[in-house]
Amino acid sequence: MKNSWSAKIPRPVSAEAKAAVRAHLGELKTAVLHQLNTSLPWYRDLPASQRASLGEIAQQGLTTFADWFEHSENTVKTSVSGVLHSVFGNAPTELSRTVSLQQAVQLLRTVLQVVETQLPAIVAEPDKAAARYAVVFYSREIAFALAEVYARAAETRGSWDARLEALLLDSILAGDRADEIRSRAAATGWKANRGITVMVGQPDQLEEPQLVAKLREIATRADLEILIGVLSDRLVIVLGDVNDVEADTRTIQRGFGEGPIVYGRIVDSLVDAPSSAQEALEGFSAAPAWPAAPRPVAASELLPERALNGDTVARAALTSQVYRPLSRAGHSLLETVDVYTTTGGSLEATARQLFIHANTVRYRLKRVAELTGWDPTSPRDAYVLQVALMTGRLDTVLNQPQQ
């Protein structure tokens, strides 16, 4: 609902006072521009084109005041929308982009201070009280108009930023060209060029605007950059400036709902984020196969589940990161892992079956952990190794030339 006000001026403004204000309008405009340059350092530092634009707004404010002062009768009736249109015209967007709300308040306060200072010298004694009242009243209307300018600009900017963010997120998920991702990242103001990961999970039960606001607040407090997208039943988040991926993803976890939360690899550029996003999405799809998975969990910890779910990247990773290093190290390590995992993780049973000492089994298992990063003595890691041996053997057979 638009604000409107009406109030009584102490006495009717005389025709002579109105004419005097109109006659001195040029002097007032000159005084305002001089005061802006002398009292506002940030105004002096603006580029010439922006100073000229703001100067025009300030002078239009004076012209509108003179028009309003000239046509006011016993009752002053004005509205925020009227002042908004008369003073700012087509400039609200430019105003809000050029200066902050605090600076805009300083600018208009300077304009009105000049008027308030010089008006008593312009009008005759009988009109001075009415003139002072007029300045106060007009100041109030300008304040309402200014608040509306910035509120509308913020709303428009928020909607536009959301659209730009959605386009950038779509580009990342679709794996678009690097130059397209860079262009859209620049449009959104994305600054992080390190520590970038993608998280996928189920959204919280909040409505989307409240959920987005909650996540932004969490990210801001943690000094993280964030892109947010709610895609049907999935919440997709791109995090930037991540220092400790486990700690930072746990922090953001508070914006997710129930169920698994998966994050992809850490990359140093949004251009590389599609690989992290693909990992996270594949991991999220396969995560139900590991009910005891940590929350959140790295997609790289879900290689067996992803491979079983048809993720060729995960299957290739198991082969290249586990099977091939063990195969190159000699048949004994593959054999030891195979026997150890199929005998339930028993050192003695493995040693008996391989006709070696238990200490030799221990040494080989330690060597496996060093080569692959997966410790056979851990039940979860043993499962990963077991699946890796299966995929590696299958890939070896499939890649053999046909006879």
DSSP state at residue 46: S
Place of tokens 């009752």: 75
Are 262 and 283 in contact by the 8 Å Cβ rule? The answer is: yes
Q: When comparing pLDDT for 396 and 374, which is higher?
A: 374
Structure confidence at residue 121 (pLDDT) = 84
Enter the tokens of residue 314: 């995960």
DSSP H or E stretch at residue 253: none
Pairwise CA distance, residues 151 & 243, whole Å: 35
Which class would CATH give 312-398?
mainly alpha
Task: Looking at 287-378, list the stretches that DSSP marks H as alpha helix, in order from N- to C-terminal side.
Answer: 303-308, 312-318, 324-328, 331-342, 347-354, 358-372
Q: How confident is the model at residue 236 (pLDDT cuts 50, 70, 90)?
A: very high
Q: Would you kindly state where each structural domain of the chain is located, as residue ranges? A: 4-150, 192-298, 312-398
Which class would CATH give 4-150?
mainly alpha
In this structure, of 199-213, 262-276, 313-327, the range with the lowest mean pLDDT score is 199-213
pLDDT surpasses 90 at 16: no
In 3D, which of 172, 188, 58 has the Cα closest to residue 112?
58
Structure confidence at residue 85 (pLDDT) = 52
Q: How confident is the model at residue 9 (pLDDT cuts 50, 70, 90)?
A: very low
Segment 296-312 shows an average pLDDT of: 97
pLDDT surpasses 80 at 380: yes
In 3D, which of 178, 155, 181 has the Cα closest to residue 168?
181
Are 68 and 18 in contact by the 8 Å Cβ rule? The answer is: no
Question: Whole-prediction pTM value?
Answer: 0.64
Q: Decide the pairing of beta strands 75-79 and 262-263.
A: unpaired
Pairwise CA distance, residues 199 & 299, whole Å: 9
Written as one letter, the residue type at 333 is L
Pairwise CA distance, residues 128 & 133, whole Å: 9
Structure confidence at residue 212 (pLDDT) = 87
Per-residue pLDDT tens for 152-210? Answer: 656 555 566 677 888 898 999 999 899 999 988 888 889 888 999 999 999 988 888 88
Pairwise CA distance, residues 1 & 256, whole Å: 36
Segment 14-25 shows an average pLDDT of: 85
Please, how many CA atoms are within 13 Å of residue 272, restricted to the half-sphere of its CB?
A: 13
Q: Is 192-298 assigned to CATH 3.30.1330.10?
A: no
Structure confidence at residue 79 (pLDDT) = 46
